[in-house]
Amino acid sequence: MNAAQLDIDSDPKAYLAHHESLDESAADALLDERELHVRGLVRDVVAHEVAPRAAEMDRTHEFVHESYQALACAGLAGLIFPRHLGGTADTNVAYAAAMEEITAGCAATSLVYMTQMHAAYPIMIAGSEELAERYVPGLLKGTAYGALGITEPGAGSDVASLRSVAAPSDGGYSLSGAKTFITTGDKADVIICFASIDRSLGRKGITAFVLNGAWDGLDRGTPFLKMGMHGSSTSELFFDEVQVPADHRLGEEGGGWQIVMNSVIKSRISAAAQGVGLARAAYGRALRALRRIHGSRLPDEAAFALATLRGKLLQGRLLLFSVARDIDRSATPNAGQIGIMKQTCTDLGFDTAREAMRVLGPYGDLTDLGVERCLRDAKVTQIYDGTNEVQRLLIARDTVRKAGE
């Protein structure tokens, strides 16, 4: 078998038929009519504009500009935002389904797509109406790229120990410090930056700001070379006395910690949906290849492996949609369940890709088949948006707290 013959990503009709065959009615039953419609719209754009470019972007490390723009131009890049800011006021469930679709076609595009939302979200929830109107629509239309700058060398899991400082200056702030591992950091026009107004206050000093990427004192590192997600860039950011007007502060001084806490609810849906999308891509590719190799009578070992993967994929998708629905309905969504969703779904993506490679034997190693790409892309979903070790810690804390109530 020539692995390239199995490539259906460049044939939208075949792509759509294949992915429809992977739908499960039990998971679809959790989506309402509008959510199914959104998923269909996204799948169509992915089939025609995103999936056909994915392997090439992975090979060349070229930024997935066209793929992301196709989604933005179709009006699908502002799902969870209100209409007056350019969004479509959809649910978190619709967003999760959309993210799964985009990831199944091109994980790097899904990373850029979610980062746009992650940058716009703090402005929407904590910025003034004027600030939101100035910055959010461009991020949702794709005319501006955004970045969310939380992580620093030595402060990622432990956000409270961040060292960037915002000192009072001319009625505003002078911001100095450095961020690292920032998605789209090398090209972001709009940067959300978390810095401390007084490091002795710990997390109570953390404050959020929105920065214009063109401001003086802002420098960017060369994008890192990474194991996966090649079509998305990740870089350092350096701030040397960047002058930030007071009206570019998001929320109150010291309110940054709460903004991080609110934002990670969204970003953990994003990462979890990526896990499910990558699991689906790896499982679907393995299924197709095994059918091609063996016809309809698969060896028992392969059939049992696929049966297990299908069951786990369905469980992951049910968990993703259920927790997203709970987030839609609850004013105070449960941190333990969000952690369970993030950890379970991203582990699912990595484990499914690894198992798909195993069951394919030497074919799993072939780049043209795309399963090894799923494995490389999946690894980082277990790391960002709170590592899975940190999720276990959060789940454990919540478990103990609930038991004490």
Ligand X SMILES: Cc1cc2nc3c(=O)[nH]c(=O)nc-3n(C[C@H](O)[C@H](O)[C@H](O)COP(=O)(O)OP(=O)(O)OC[C@H]3O[C@@H](n4cnc5c(N)ncnc54)[C@H](O)[C@@H]3O)c2cc1C
Instruction: Using CB under 6 A, list all residues that contact ligand X.
Output: 115, 148-151, 156-157, 181-183, 226, 229, 234, 380, 383-384, 386-387, 389-390, 393
- Distance in Å, CB of 145 to ligand X, minimum: 12
The DSSP H or E segment spanning 240 is strand 234-244
**CA 178 → CA 49, 267, 321, 384, distances in Å?**
36, 22, 36, 18
- Estimate to the nearest angstrom the gap between the alpha carbon of 218 and the chain centroid: 25
Cα angle value 312/9/224 (rounded, 5°): 80
Amino acid making up residue 59: R
| Cβ-based nearer residue to ligand X, 27 or 144 | 144
Cα–Cα dist 378/279, whole Å: 9
| Coil/strand/helix, residue 372 | helix
Instruction: Determine how many CB atoms are found less than 10 A away from the CB of residue 282.
Output: 34
- Distance in Å, CB of 380 to ligand X, minimum: 5
| Residue position matching structure tokens 């502002």 | 78
| Cβ-based nearer residue to ligand X, 76 or 150 | 150
Amino acid making up residue 15: Y
| Cβ-based nearer residue to ligand X, 225 or 331 | 225
**Are 395 and 340 a contacting pair, CB within 8 Å?**
yes
| Cβ-based nearer residue to ligand X, 202 or 311 | 202
- Distance in Å, CB of 85 to ligand X, minimum: 21
- Distance in Å, CB of 224 to ligand X, minimum: 8
Give the residue from 33, 249, 297 showing the smallest Cα distance to 122.
249
Cα angle value 49/271/46 (rounded, 5°): 10
Q: Give the residue nearest to ligand X (CB).
A: 156
| Cβ-based nearer residue to ligand X, 129 or 389 | 389
| Cβ-based nearer residue to ligand X, 308 or 399 | 399
Cα–Cα dist 204/200, whole Å: 9
- Report CA Rg, the chain: 21
| Cβ-based nearer residue to ligand X, 35 or 347 | 347
| Cβ-based nearer residue to ligand X, 38 or 244 | 244
| Cβ-based nearer residue to ligand X, 298 or 390 | 390
| Cβ-based nearer residue to ligand X, 157 or 399 | 157
Longest dimension (CA), the chain: 74
11: buried, middle or exposed (CB in 10 Å: 19+, 13-18, 0-12)? middle
- Distance in Å, CB of 152 to ligand X, minimum: 8
- Distance in Å, CB of 91 to ligand X, minimum: 24
Give the residue from 9, 15, 23, 77 showing the smallest Cα distance to 321.
23
125: buried, middle or exposed (CB in 10 Å: 19+, 13-18, 0-12)? middle
Amino acid making up residue 263: S
